[in-house]
Copies of this chain bind each other. A is one copy, B any other.
Amino acid sequence: MAELSESAGIPVPTIKYYIREGLVAPGQPTGRNQADYTEEHVRRLKLVRALVEYGGLSIAVLRDLIARIDNPDLEAFDLLGAAQKTVTQAKDPRPGPYKDRAERRLHDLLTERGWRIRTGDPAYRTAVGVLATLDEVGRQDMLDVLGSYAEAAERIAEIDVGLVGDVSDREHAVEIVIIGTSVGDTLIASLRRLAQASVGERLYT
């Protein structure tokens, strides 16, 4: 395990924790206090760390994901959908008039863009919550440009889906969905801020 820790650049206690939590398979025992680890272990360890550090995923969410990946009965396309939903934290809106208005607004937007409407999806529920909140704090200006944000989001989704490629390569496809969605959010958020600073300066100075 000391060698594994060296190769992956991850401390032994962290490795033990990931194994205990079922995120990484234990090594093949070769003696009393010895076990063999493969390249696969190094890869999985680095993946788990990436998802925790830059994907904002909790250990519980990761455990759920890994169980799906390791379940060979799940069809590739279903697995991708499940993976995408799992990395999406749902924030349910409070019931009330703001929520109702947000739901109508989102419905109109999705219809306009020809996006599928699945009201149970965590992303749908979160979007309703965000729209209700923006309405409640009086940010009508942001709601007015919702269509432009959606257009930019669709452009990002096209890049995302282009990366998935051949879905029959199950392991590759699901890895790109998980990393692309979760770590991708952090990437886009940081690029957005870097761009804001420059676009803002161009405009105001």
Let me know if A32 is at the binding interface, CB within 8 A: no
- Contact across chains for A141 and B91 when beta carbons are under 8 A apart: no
Instruction: Say yes or no for A203: interface residue by CB 8 A criterion.
Output: yes
CB distance from A8 to the nearest CB of B (A): 10
A201 and chain B: residue at smallest CB distance: B116
Task: Check if A190 is an interface residue, CB within 8 A of chain B.
Answer: yes
Interface residues on A, range: 35 or more
Interface-lining segment among A22-30, A57-65, A66-74, A76-84:
A76-84
Among A110, A126, A197, the one with the most B-chain Cβ atoms within 10 Å of its Cβ is: A197
Number of copies of chain A assembled together: 2
- Contacts of A145 on B, CB cut-off 8 Å? 159, 162-163
Choose among A81, A141, A152 the residue with the greatest number of B CB atoms under 10 Å from its CB: A152
Contact with B along A164-198 (1 / 0, CB 8 A): 10010000000010011101111111111111111
Cβ contact within 8 Å between B163 and A204: no
Q: A20 on the interface (CB 8 Å rule)?
A: no
A contacts, CB < 8 Å to B: 9, 43, 46-47, 50, 53-54, 77, 80-81, 84, 88, 91, 94, 96, 110, 113-116, 118, 121-124, 126-127, 129-131, 133-134, 136-139, 141-142, 145, 148-150, 152-164, 167, 176, 179-181, 183-201, 203-205
